[in-house]
Each structure stands twice: as C-alpha cells, then as structure tokens.
Chains A and B, each alone.
Chain A
Amino acid sequence: MQAFTTATGAAVPLLEDDINTDEISPIQLARKLQPDYRKMLFMRARWDDKGEPVPSHVLNQPQFQNPAILVTGANFGCGSSREAAVWALLANGISCVVAPSLADQFRENCLQNGVLPITLDKASFATLAKRVVDADGAPFTADLESQTLSGPGGDPIPFAIPAAERLVLLEGLDDIGLTSKHLPDIEAWEARTAAETPWYQNARDGRIP
C-alpha cells in the first residue's frame, strides 16, 4: 500500500450530506474490468449526456484542477461496499477526505488504499468548510505526522485518528502481511474449531459423495 504522510493541493468543497458510492463511482458506467477511474469520479454529475464537462461541477472548475483534499458532508460514502469509489478519488489525486462523518465501509476502504479519512466535530468542520470555500482552490495541506489541516484563513486545524490507523497509513503497512504474522494462531484456531464445532470447518455439499 502507498504510504501517506501529507497531501497538498486544492481542497474541494462538495458540501452535501449522504453522498453514496453510486454517485461517486456509478456501477452502470464502470462496465469495464479496467475502467478509467479518473473519468469515473462523480461521473453522472461531472459529464453531460454527450460526455462534455458540466461547467458548474466543482471538479470541472479551473481552480480545482489539482485537487488533493475533498471536504464533504456527513455520511460520505454510504451505500455499496464499492472500493472503486476510493480508486476514483485517488485517480484524481485526492488522497484525503474530510467530513463530519464517513460511512464505515468507505472508511475501511480508504485505510486499505492509503487515503486519509478525517472526521471533524461540528464546529471544527464548519470552520474548515468556510475556509475551504473562501480559499477557492488555494492549496491546503493534510499532515498526518502533526495531525493538522492547514491552509489560508487561519491556524492549522487539528484532527484525531486512532494511533494504530495512523501508523498503518504512515508506514504504508501491508495489511495481509500484518495478518500473516498470525498464521500459527489461525491454524491453531482451525484445529480447535474442527474438533469442537466441526460443522463450521466443513463446508461439504451433502449431495456430492
């Protein structure tokens, strides 16, 4: 996994609540095994029926052409467990999402891909959102070392993240590698379960001899 230390670039205000993964990365438009994730991001809202950019969409505006941070509403990423939503953000250079709250599975998918998920309390979020709108594309920085968001219009805004998640992001730790250290524990668990509750370790189709 890509390690995360800082993200610097335009902070994009998309201040709506409950944006779901169908909006972020629509299934109907991700019809290829190797889709264009760059184009996929907010595809239905960003491009019209003829494939032309919709000028009013924030990501089509010239000052947001080098985005790094998405500042969005509550419950961002709800809906399908679609990791393509995170890949679409990354393909556009966005490696940090800030919101009052994030959907559980979306947040997990961020952590799996080196995207920093930040949730802020109501007051801090309101402060940040106003500064981001006022900055209108001027760069912000999300710094995981110092756990701050900085940019024009005021002092750095601190954010909290569980120490373990911070470590995984900073080091870009391989998730499967971390778990694989426990292979002996997994094998011991399997042996015990096979004796105590064998129906879980045996997924046999009784119709097939």
Chain B
Amino acid sequence: MVARTLFHKIWEAHLVARRIDGREIIYMDRNIVHELHGPKAFEKLRKAARRVRRPDLTFAVQDHTISSQPDRDDTTNPEGTPFLRAQRAGAAEFGFRIFDVGDPDQGISHVIGPELGMVLPGATHCVPDSHAATVGALGALSFGCGTTELEHVLATQVLAMKRPKTMRINLEGRLQPHVTAKDVALHIVGTLGVSGANGHAVEYAGPVVRAMGIEARMTLCNLTVEMGGRSGFVAADETTLSWLEGRPFAPVGEDWNRALAYWRTMHSDEGARFDRDLTIDCSALEPQITWGITPGQVIGIRDSVPASLGEEASDQHAFTKALTYMDLQAGEPLQGLKVDRVFIGSCTNGRIPDLQEAAAIVRGRKVAEGVVAMISPGSTIVRREAEALGLDTVFRDAGFYWAESACSMCAGGNGDRGRPGERVISTTNRNFEGRQGPGVRTHLVSPGMAAAAAIAGAIVDVRQLAEA
C-alpha cells in the first residue's frame, strides 16, 4: 500500500467525479451558512429556480450581524435586520434548520459546528467564511467558499475544486506556561508570511499539537487562512474521539462504534509524502502580539517593532503604511503602550478554555480606568457554561461587559466597533486597517494577553500578572 496523507484519504473518499474542465467534484458532508452570504445565495437560487439539494445536511446560523447586547432581537442592530430576516426566510423556504436569534444553540458557525457534533473526523465541510478551517481541529477537511460557490453547494451538495497541495507543519517541543495555541498560530503566520500557505491544505502535527485540547487545536486551525491556506486540520486522536462522544449530532450506538474504527484509520500514514514538510520548534516561544496591519506582522511580547520589513521598495512602502496606521515607530517596544479597548471572543478565541484562560488573569482584579473591556462568548452554549462556572461573575466584577454570542468586534458587522484612533487589544484573527472600525488600531493576542492588557490598561506580558 502506498503511504497516504490524511488529506488524500479524506479527499479521495469524497471524490465524486472529474468535470470536463478538469476540476474535481468533492462531496460536502456538511454545509453551514451564515447570514452575510446566505441571503445573496438564496436570491440566486430563486432566480434560477433551483432548490437546495440536501437540506438535511445544510444548517443556517446568525452570527455576523446579530447584536451582542443582552435581550437582543432582529432590530437591536438595525444594519443586521435585513440580513437576519432574509436568512430566516431562506431557511424556511428551502427547508433547513436555522440556529436563529433566541435559539439556545445560537452561535458562530465554527464554534457550534464542532460543539454540537455536526462536524466529524474524516468529513468534508464548507462555510462561506474564510475561517472554515477552524473545525479542521476535529480531523475534518473544511473549506471557506464565496457566495457563488455557496449557491453551487446548496444546489448540488458538492464543490468543484482544484486539488490543493499538501503541507505538514510539525510543531516540536513543549509550550512554556501562558504560551497558547494562539501564540503558536501567530508565530507560524509570522514565519511563513501571509501568503506562505497559498494553494495548500495544511496538516498540523507533532507533540505540541498532540498535547493541545480540541479547543486549542481549533484556534490553531482557525488562523490557517491568514497565511493563505484554504484548509487546516489535525488528525483525530483519542482526545478528539472522547471530546466528540455524546454531542447532540454525533452518531450513536452501532454507528458510533463503526465510526470509531473508521476514524482511527484517518491519519497520515508513516512515510506519507507532503509537498512541503516543515518543522517549527515551539520550546522558546513567547506570548505573541501583532504590531502591524496583517497577522504576519507579529513579534514576541518582549521584542520591539522591527527596524524594517526588507530592502525592496514594496517592503518599505508596506512598513511605512503599517507604522503610520498603527501610530508606531520602527524599533519601538510595544509593552507599556496605553490601551483603549479590549475584546475577548470570536471564532478564534471564544470557547470555554479561552474564557478560563482570561478569567485566571482577571480574577480579583479590576479593569483599568478608561479601558472598555468586552467579552462575547463564541456561542450561546459557551455563554451558559461560562455562567455555570461563575466566569461571568469574575468578568463582571472586574468591570468587563458580558455580551451575548456573536462575531461582534471581529469584523464589526454587528455594530460593535472601536472609535477612530483607538488602540484595541483583541483575540480575533485580523488586524486589517479599519476591520474593527475606521481608524481603529488592532493588536491580536491570546485571551490571557488580552485580559492582562485590560487590567494593566496597557500592553503587558501576561506572565507578569499571572505570576504576580
């Protein structure tokens, strides 16, 4: 038998046919649609008199434009109202389940998909959202898509794709205390660059990954697209299988037992060849923070803003642009810079272990004067669980705003935004210009680092507060 990668095992198991234009037709086991793209695709289906071919494998969520305010409804964020209503109308018309405003299981697509057991190891999955790779943490192959591709998968339950190349990133060593999956992910993007994985499906492997819980693996996979990868994943192991057992949509009984046997074969074989095979030692890794306007412009918390990005004119232009936007100087340390706003949440860092990591820093302390600090759990289930654990009290007592589940400040599509010129410390995945509001300066960090910044009122090393 030829040694095969996990990517090839999943891809070949889902390969339906080859089209005349050379693209491969890949079956999608699950399709989760959010309301920013859904309504547009539904409109196109209606115009072409097409139906949704497999409504039983299709799910709708309300996450991008839904307000994060308690007691929210369709009208709390007026900009979202038409999206929320059109999404609901589409789900009713085409006959699939919607996790709507007010549903006890409402949440961000990449959070509730795994949480409810909708995403399974060895499965294919798509979402019209570039962070679809998040759920690759369960050993699934997940693709972000555009609106026209969404219409395609709704109408046919397949995507027509070019086969990506394979890349394995071996994460060696052992993480130091308070260094998390987010720091690893940012470090990888910083190392490979924002287009370093273009055209590749990325498998994360090695002892660092094996030691991570499932939620941490989701954070790691989440940032795959920030280096251009369309899919990122971790082979399922016993950690995955015990995490999945008993979740609402997971198989039960004899199906569960048969699935377990199958899933235990779904890993890259010994000796499998990858188009690129990289090793990164994580032993000396420090908490990371972005200084610029791409997730690849990232440094260790004890480092300073670099002196340049390179020799070429385009590098110098990009460097000046980033420094000007972020109001920073070449060579300047970030520690000590005053912070205006802190956001903890999103599909990157909105799960229970993320909130626990932040709460451990916040407990018994107060948010610094003048800092607006907010937590939006990744799902309504996460919110309830956090409340059962008393985490909301820890955050509220410290002066955090305890919001409802939404994409919230990640993309600012639900009205949660910073003000021009504000410096925001955020657990999200993008620090693009204007992403969190016009003129807002975003630094990406782990939940612990964000919590520490909220308490200190400035950019600090989380380890100073953790050990204080």
B79 to chain A: which residues have CB within 8 Å? 31
How many Å from the CB of B414 to the closest CB on chain A?
10
Instruction: Assess A103 versus B195: contact at CB under 8 Å? Given A179-B158, A186-B156.
Output: yes
B23-A164 in contact (CB<8A) = yes
> Considering the chains assembled together, what is the distance between the CA atoms of A185 and B27 in angstroms?
11
Chain B's interface size range is 35 or more
> Considering the chains assembled together, what is the distance between the CA atoms of A193 and B265 in angstroms?
17
A23 to chain B: which residues have CB within 8 Å? 432-434
> Considering the chains assembled together, what is the distance between the CA atoms of A168 and B230 in angstroms?
22
Segment with Cβ contacts to A, from B123-131, B179-187, B455-463: B123-131
Segment with Cβ contacts to A, from B141-149, B342-350, B370-378, B386-394: B141-149
> Considering the chains assembled together, what is the distance between the CA atoms of A26 and B50 in angstroms?
30
Give the contacts of A147-196 with B (CB-CB under 8 A). 162-165, 167-168, 173, 175-176, 178-183, 185-186, 189-190, 193
How many Å from the CB of A167 to the closest CB on chain B?
6
Write the chain B residue with the least CB distance to A16. Answer: B317
A101 to chain B: which residues have CB within 8 Å? 195, 198
Segment with Cβ contacts to B, from A5-13, A105-113, A130-138: A105-113
A73 to chain B: which residues have CB within 8 Å? 314
Write the chain A residue with the least CB distance to B197. Answer: A104
Task: Kindly name the residue among A26, A28, A178 whose own CB sees the greatest number of chain B CB atoms within 10 A.
Answer: A28
> Considering the chains assembled together, what is the distance between the CA atoms of A75 and B122 in angstroms?
30
**A66 interface residue per 8 A CB criterion:** no
How many Å from the CB of B9 to the closest CB on chain A?
12
**A91 interface residue per 8 A CB criterion:** no
> Considering the chains assembled together, what is the distance between the CA atoms of A100 and B207 in angstroms?
37
> Considering the chains assembled together, what is the distance between the CA atoms of A162 and B162 in angstroms?
11
> Considering the chains assembled together, what is the distance between the CA atoms of A83 and B198 in angstroms?
18
A74 to chain B: which residues have CB within 8 Å? 195, 314
Task: Kindly name the residue among A44, A173, A185 whose own CB sees the greatest number of chain B CB atoms within 10 A.
Answer: A185
Instruction: Assess A81 versus B130: contact at CB under 8 Å? Given A16-B317, A179-B19.
Output: yes
B434 to chain A: which residues have CB within 8 Å? 22-23, 26, 28, 44
B148-A104 in contact (CB<8A) = no
> Considering the chains assembled together, what is the distance between the CA atoms of A26 and B151 in angstroms?
22
B145-A105 in contact (CB<8A) = yes
Instruction: Please tell me which one of the listed residues A168, A202, A205, A206 contacts residue B21 in the complex, with CB atoms under 8 A apart.
Output: A168
Give the contacts of B169-209 with A (CB-CB under 8 A). 194-195, 198-199
Instruction: Assess A75 versus B194: contact at CB under 8 Å? Given A176-B152, A182-B25.
Output: yes
A162 to chain B: which residues have CB within 8 Å? 22
Instruction: Assess A186 versus B157: contact at CB under 8 Å? Given A16-B318, A112-B146.
Output: yes
B83 to chain A: which residues have CB within 8 Å? 33
> Considering the chains assembled together, what is the distance between the CA atoms of A189 and B79 in angstroms?
42
How many Å from the CB of A169 to the closest CB on chain B?
10
> Considering the chains assembled together, what is the distance between the CA atoms of A163 and B23 in angstroms?
11
How many Å from the CB of A72 to the closest CB on chain B?
11
Proximity string of chain A (46-89) to chain B, C-beta cutoff 8 Å, 1 when within and 0 when not: 00000000000000000000000000011100111111001000
B123-A83 in contact (CB<8A) = no
How many Å from the CB of B166 to the closest CB on chain A?
14
B148-A83 in contact (CB<8A) = yes
How many Å from the CB of A172 to the closest CB on chain B?
13
A189-B16 in contact (CB<8A) = yes
Instruction: Assess A17 versus B318: contact at CB under 8 Å? Given A81-B145, A103-B195, A200-B120.
Output: yes
A28-B412 in contact (CB<8A) = yes
Instruction: Please tell me which one of the listed residues A86, A173, A186, A200 contacts residue B123 in the complex, with CB atoms under 8 A apart.
Output: A200
Instruction: Assess A179 versus B195: contact at CB under 8 Å? Given A75-B228, A83-B147, A186-B25.
Output: no
> Considering the chains assembled together, what is the distance between the CA atoms of A182 and B255 in angstroms?
29
A193 to chain B: which residues have CB within 8 Å? 27
Instruction: Assess A22 versus B50: contact at CB under 8 Å? Given A176-B151, A186-B156, A203-B249.
Output: no
Instruction: Please tell me which one of the listed residues A18, A28, A113, A198 contacts residue B148 in the complex, with CB atoms under 8 A apart.
Output: A113
> Considering the chains assembled together, what is the distance between the CA atoms of A189 and B27 in angstroms?
8
> Considering the chains assembled together, what is the distance between the CA atoms of A74 and B159 in angstroms?
27
A104 to chain B: which residues have CB within 8 Å? 198-199, 228, 230
> Considering the chains assembled together, what is the distance between the CA atoms of A202 and B262 in angstroms?
16
Write the chain A residue with the least CB distance to B120. Answer: A199
- Residue contacts A-B, CB under 8 angstroms, 12 given: A27-B413, A28-B412, A33-B39, A81-B128, A165-B21, A176-B48, A178-B19, A186-B17, A189-B16, A197-B259, A201-B29, A205-B116
11 further interface pairs, Cβ-Cβ under 8 Å (given A81-B128, A179-B160): A81-B146, A83-B40, A101-B198, A103-B228, A109-B149, A180-B156, A197-B13, A199-B258, A200-B29, A202-B255, A203-B56
- Residues of A at under 8 Å CB distance from B? 15-18, 20, 22-23, 26-28, 31-33, 44, 73-75, 78-83, 86, 101, 103-105, 108-109, 112-113, 162-165, 167-168, 173, 175-176, 178-183, 185-186, 189-190, 193, 197-207
